[in-house]
Amino acid sequence: MKQSIEKGKTLLIDGPACIALYSGALRAFGAPIKVGEHIIIRRGRRIPIEAIEDSQIEILLGNSASFSLIDENPIPDSWRNAADKILSIDGRVEIVVLGNVDSGKTSFCTYLANVAFERGRSVALIDGDLGQSDIGPPGTLGLSLIRSPVIDPFNLQPDYVIFIGNTSPSSVVQPTINGLVDLRDKALNMGSSFVVINTDGWVEGLDAINYKRHLIRRLQPNFVVIIGSEEPLKPLIDSLSSLEVNIILVETPRNVKRRDRETRKMIREASYRKYLRDAKVRSYPISWIKVDGHMEIAGKPDQALKERIEGILGEKIVYCEGTQNSIILVLDERANLSNEARAKLSAELNRPIRIMRKGEERGLLVALEDGNGRFLGIGTIQCIDFERGTLKVYTNVEGSVLRVHIGQIRLDDKGNEVEIISRST
């Protein structure tokens, strides 16, 4: 469908949709859109497109997509003022963006990155939101150097990814903070001097505030931009004020699109599928690689120990291996180990026992890494073949893999999220 947009008006489009610009000039989150360009708006996302000149576009709307024309500038004045203040500093600048879910964090980071890029800065965007990832798959932290203006950071090619393996930071605070510090250092080493760090929407309550405070203490950014209405964020603002950081408060845009849990899950699932495109099942000998994270296994079966345990329990077990500190015991899916039997084993073997059930690994999201610890891609575990000592992973990673890091997110065969395992075993 053809549509004209008068200069100064804004087209709000809710995806899935695609627009093509025939004539005029448009802009989205500070990124210019030129004649001949196509812009794709993903499902679950709303993009405000401003007309810089009278423009003619073609719109293709997908299922449940919609659009409306509004007579206002979608970028709040507070966003413009914040960008001006931050850009008044020459040299290296680091900015952390905090705010509730749906407050506009991703959009503010995108806007700031675009304005800085247009002014010639070497911009890096770091995505610290595990649940609603923009760069890299869900459960990861991502870094992208900005090489051209960005409308949707989901389309950026990540330069570096760190796998955390959970969609929420609450049980993985320390690895998330370490990962973000690591990515910031990498961005600086790669030559960026304007580093924008986005975070998750967990900002209310003592644990969330402690986490954000700890993060800011470690990163020591020049600016912390806090998005949203002041009242619910007051405890966070008060806590950060004592750190003597430069805090800038900005508003949430009026027309922001809020997403419910189901939509958020659907957005994550689209992302898993994107990173699993063209995947096939590949087999890795466990004893050649490091398998760790939510489950750890060395792939070095101990036959004598297995027989001893079978003797104690009076029944067959699938697999066992012993390390100095613990014993990994794999039972059949249906096997049931009573507390009494467990206590007997611990007493006789005098080491903590980690019990796994065969099949429990199925569907767990993993990251595959090379020998330098570099993230190569994600996969899902098909199975561990204890007899052959192999790990079967559904992945599109082709290179040589030396580590498989197991996460706490379980997907089904279609890439749907089945569960997030809350407790490490």
Ligand X SMILES: Nc1ncnc2c1ncn2[C@@H]1O[C@H](COP(=O)(O)OP(=O)(O)OP(=O)(O)O)[C@@H](O)[C@H]1O
Q: What residue ranges bind ligand X (CB under 6 A)?
A: 12, 45-48, 74, 99, 101-107, 129, 132, 201, 253, 255-257, 259
Q: Output the smallest distance, CB 87 to ligand X, in A.
A: 20
From the list ligand X, Mg ion, none, partner contacted by residue 48 (C-beta under 5 to 8 A by kind): ligand X
Closest to 280 (Cα-Cα) out of 122, 159, 398: 398
Q: What angle do CA 7, 9, 11 make, to 5 degrees?
A: 120
Q: Output the smallest distance, CB 421 to ligand X, in A.
A: 22
Nearer to ligand X, 268 or 306 (CB): 268
Read off the DSSP letter of residue 190: T
Nearer to Mg ion, 10 or 106 (CB): 106
From the list Mg ion, ligand X, none, partner contacted by residue 101 (C-beta under 5 to 8 A by kind): ligand X
From the list Mg ion, ligand X, none, partner contacted by residue 354 (C-beta under 5 to 8 A by kind): none
Burial label, 304 (beta-carbon count in 10 A; 0-12, 13-18, 19+) = exposed
Nearer to ligand X, 259 or 290 (CB): 259
Q: Output the smallest distance, CB 157 to ligand X, in A.
A: 20
Q: Output the smallest distance, CB 253 to ligand X, in A.
A: 3
Q: Output the smallest distance, CB 110 to ligand X, in A.
A: 7
Distance from chain centroid for Cα 156: 13
> Which residue's CB atom is positioned nearest to Mg ion?
106
Nearer to ligand X, 221 or 363 (CB): 221
Q: How far apart are alpha carbons 386 and 325 in whole angstroms? A: 21
**The token pair that represents 320 in the structure block:** 């066992």
From the list Mg ion, ligand X, none, partner contacted by residue 201 (C-beta under 5 to 8 A by kind): ligand X
Q: How far apart are alpha carbons 133 and 138 in whole angstroms? A: 5
1 contacts 51 by C-beta, under 8 angstroms: no
Residue with tokens 């430069």: 246
Q: How far apart are alpha carbons 298 and 291 in whole angstroms? A: 7
From the list Mg ion, ligand X, none, partner contacted by residue 329 (C-beta under 5 to 8 A by kind): none
Nearer to ligand X, 59 or 349 (CB): 59
Q: Output the smallest distance, CB 246 to ligand X, in A.
A: 21
Q: Which helix (H) or strand (E) holds 207?
A: helix 206-219
Nearer to ligand X, 267 or 376 (CB): 267
From the list ligand X, Mg ion, none, partner contacted by residue 269 (C-beta under 5 to 8 A by kind): none
Give the footprint of Mg ion on this chain (CB under 5 A): 105-106, 132
Nearer to ligand X, 101 or 247 (CB): 101
Q: Output the smallest distance, CB 265 to ligand X, in A.
A: 12
317 contacts 343 by C-beta, under 8 angstroms: no
Residue with tokens 């709307």: 61
Q: How far is CA 144 from CA 136, 195, 197, 347, in A?
A: 9, 10, 11, 52
Burial label, 232 (beta-carbon count in 10 A; 0-12, 13-18, 19+) = exposed
SS3 label, residue 239: helix
Backbone angles phi, psi at 187, to 5 degrees: -60, -45
Q: Output the smallest distance, CB 418 to ligand X, in A.
A: 21
SS3 label, residue 114: helix
From the list ligand X, Mg ion, none, partner contacted by residue 47 (C-beta under 5 to 8 A by kind): ligand X
Residue with tokens 């075993």: 425
From the list ligand X, Mg ion, none, partner contacted by residue 228 (C-beta under 5 to 8 A by kind): none
